Amino acid sequence: MTKIKIGILGATGMVGQMLVSLLEGHPWFEVTSLAASDKSAGRKYEEVMENRWSLAGGVPEYARDIKLEECKPGLDCSLVLSGLDPSAALKIEEDFARAGYGVSSNAKSHRMDADVPLLMPEINPGHIGLIDIQRKKRGWKGFIVTDPNCTTMGMSLALKPLDDSFGVEKVMVTTLQALSGAGYPGVPSIDIVDNVIPYINDEEDKVEEEPLKILGELKGSSIKKAKMVISASCNRVAVKYGHTECISVKLAKKTDVDGLVDAFERFKPLKGLGLPSAPARPIVVLRQENRPQPKLDANLEKGMASIIGRIRRCSILDYKFVLLSHNMVRGAAGAAILNAELLKVKGYLDG
């Protein structure tokens, strides 16, 4: 099979390097272009990443000698995966879509645009239909699809089976978010060691708004948003990878703890579709009373699942639980790749 040529925008960032790492040996995709800001362009990837690569095993061999390019159409690929800073993503991603490229983005810039899918293959594969509306409206040959904020991602995976089985009315979530979620170089070490920072710019709005679009329904040419209300409190903590979320839910239908466990464990909507990055278990329930923990559990299902534990009654809403998801894998790079795989299966990468 001829592999589809992929470019990575923002290849030098935290998400960009995770994309470079996860795409090594991908059965359908081949990375042919790496791009970043003009200060990096023209230099070999390995040289630019000498003091920035932060993943185990070093820069994959296939990427070492690739020369970084500027983020401008003309890259030798048909699909770009974007790990761009939002300030740059807004215009650059549109330039690529206009020039005929598919764009699978991690940036927030286009997530809430009415004609752009905020895609999660397990939850809303039908939202991919917005691409046709987007192309018609904007006159683009290419298109943009986005994946959610890293905190939204894990929580939405958990809310979907609960909403389908019991109807979710209200959600309260308090997060403990990893440092890698802030990009590179991120939060200064002197600010975070021995500390918790109870504010992350823009984060609470994203966590309260994005799930309503993700869990909504495509009706005609627009998404009818889900009806639940969400209240979020987001905190930065001194953890490298893995966002922890303490979630309470109010449900429309009565159930018990076993009902929640059963709904989570039965949730396997992508079974049989053959997407290489899809986890066998999108939700993993742990029974130990002191789990999930970022250090022990963030990499379960290769970082692509929501890990849930401590499911119990809530004396204010109905039930509460602790959720962990890998912010750089399922919360970013892995999600963009999974979306690209869905695009291929649905025929959007056929040229």
Q: Which residues are catalytic?
A: 150, 243
Q: Please give the angle made by the CA atoms of 79, 85 and 90, to the nearest 5 degrees.
A: 65
Query: What is the smallest separation between the CB atom of 30 and ligand NAP, expressed in angstroms?
Result: 20
- Binders in 64-103 for ligand NAP, by CB under 6 A: 71, 83-86, 88-89
Which of 180, 248, 277, 339 lies at the binding interface for ligand NAP (CB under 6 A)? 180
Q: Which stretch binds ligand NAP (CB under 6 A): 177-185, 213-221, 245-253, 290-298?
A: 177-185
Q: In whole angstroms, how far apart are CA 309 and each of 123, 201, 254, 269, 318?
A: 21, 28, 20, 21, 16
Could you tell me the two tokens for 322?
A: 């602790």
Query: What is the smallest separation between the CB atom of 146 and ligand NAP, expressed in angstroms?
Result: 10
Please, which residue, 221 or 235, has the CB nearer to ligand NAP?
A: 235
Which of 104, 106, 146, 248 lies at the binding interface for ligand NAP (CB under 6 A)? 106
Assess 334 for contact with ligand NAP (CB under 6 A). no
Please, which residue, 102 or 249, has the CB nearer to ligand NAP?
A: 102
CA distance 195 to 55: 24
Query: What is the smallest separation between the CB atom of 188 and ligand NAP, expressed in angstroms?
Result: 14
Q: Could you tell me what percentage of the chain is helix, strand and coil, using 3-state DSSP and rounding each to the nearest 5?
A: 35, 25, 45
Query: What is the smallest separation between the CB atom of 288 and ligand NAP, expressed in angstroms?
Result: 26
Query: What is the smallest separation between the CB atom of 209 and ligand NAP, expressed in angstroms?
Result: 15
Could you tell me the two tokens for 122?
A: 């397990």
Please, which residue, 162 or 239, has the CB nearer to ligand NAP?
A: 239
In sequence order, what E strands does 112-210 have? Answer: 143-146, 168-177
3-state secondary structure of 34: strand
Element (H, E) at 98: helix 86-98
The closest residue (CB) to ligand NAP is: 13
Measured from the Cβ of residue 319, the count of other Cβ atoms closer than 10 Å reads 20
Pick the closest to residue 13 from 69, 52, 67 (CA basis).
52
Please, which residue, 102 or 181, has the CB nearer to ligand NAP?
A: 181
Please, which residue, 285 or 332, has the CB nearer to ligand NAP?
A: 332
CA distance 127 to 112: 13
Q: In whole angstroms, how far apart are CA 244 and each of 94, 140, 210?
A: 33, 39, 18
Assess 184 for contact with ligand NAP (CB under 6 A). yes
Assess 131 for contact with ligand NAP (CB under 6 A). no
11-46: string of b/e by CB count within 10 Å (b at 16+)?
bbbbbbbbbbbbbeebebbebbbbbbeeebbeebbb
Task: State the number of binding residues for ligand NAP (CB under 6 A).
Answer: 30
Assess 117 for contact with ligand NAP (CB under 6 A). no
283 within 8 A of 157, measured Cβ to Cβ: yes
Assess 150 for contact with ligand NAP (CB under 6 A). yes
- Binders in 11-40 for ligand NAP, by CB under 6 A: 11-16, 36-37, 39-40
- Binders in 288-307 for ligand NAP, by CB under 6 A: none
Query: What is the smallest separation between the CB atom of 153 and ligand NAP, expressed in angstroms?
Result: 8
Pick the closest to residue 335 from 322, 325, 345 (CA basis).
325
- Binders in 303-332 for ligand NAP, by CB under 6 A: 327-328, 331-332
Pick the closest to residue 215 from 145, 167, 274, 256 (CA basis).
167
Please, which residue, 165 or 339, has the CB nearer to ligand NAP?
A: 339
Binding site for ligand NAP (CB under 6 A): 10-16, 36-37, 39-40, 71, 83-86, 88-89, 106-108, 150, 180-181, 183-184, 327-328, 331-332
